[in-house]
Amino acid sequence: QVQLVESGGGLVQAGGSLRLACAASGRTLLGYPMGWFRQPPGKERTFVASIPWTGTNTLYADSVKGRFTISRDSAKNTMYLQMNSLEPEDTAVYYCVTKDSRWSVADTYHFSDWDYWGQGTQVTVSS
C-alpha cells in the first residue's frame, strides 16, 4: 500500500509562486497515474491536474491552465505541482492522489475515483 505525503504549502502574496511536492513510500509511482485536487474553505474538493504514467499528456483544470505545471520524478518517487501567478482563489488544501491500478488512465476528475491520497498541504494566497 502506498503512502503519500504532501509538502511545500504556505502563505504567499498574490502573484507569487509555490512548488508543492508529493513523496510516495511503500510502492513505486512508476507506471501509475497521479494527480492533484484542492479543497477551498467550505467548498468541495475539485480536480486541479493529473499526469499519466507516461509523464506526457498532462491535464489541467481550466482555472489553473497556463499557471500550474504538474511533473513527476520517478527516480525520486515524487510528484510536483509548480504554481505560478497565484491568486487568492487558489487558497485551498491541496491533496495528491494516485491509483491502485498500474497503467490506468489519468483523465479522472472525481476525487472518489482515485484510490490513495495524502493528508493535504495548506496553500494560502493573500491579496
3-state secondary structure of 55: coil
User: 123 or 57: whose pLDDT is higher?
Assistant: 123
Predicted pLDDT of residue 106: 80
> Which of the four pLDDT bands, split at 50, 70 and 90, describes residue 102?
confident
Q: How far apart are CA 98 and CA 127, in angstroms?
A: 32
Write down the pLDDT at residue 107: 85
What is the chain's Cα-based Rg?
13
- Is the pLDDT at 92 greater than 90? The verdict is yes
Mean pLDDT of 65-73: 96
Q: CA nearest 62: which of 52, 82, 48, 41? A: 48
User: What is the Cα–Cα distance from 89 to 69, expressed in whole angstroms?
Assistant: 17
Q: Is the pLDDT of residue 101 over 90?
A: no
Cα–Cα distance, 46 to 54 (Å, whole number): 23
- Rounded percentage of the chain residues whose pLDDT exceeds 70: 100
Is residue 124 over pLDDT 90?
Answer: yes
pLDDT at 55 over 90: no
CA dihedral 26, 55, 57, 117 (to 10 degrees): 20
Amino acid letter for position 83:
M
From the DSSP assignment, how many helices (H) and strands (E) are in the chain?
A: 0, 11
pLDDT for the residue numbered 104: 82
63-69 long-range Cβ contacts below 8 angstroms, 24+ apart: 63/89, 64/90
pLDDT tens across 3-30, in order? 999 999 999 999 999 999 999 999 988 8
Question: Given a cut of 90, is residue 53 above it in pLDDT?
Answer: no
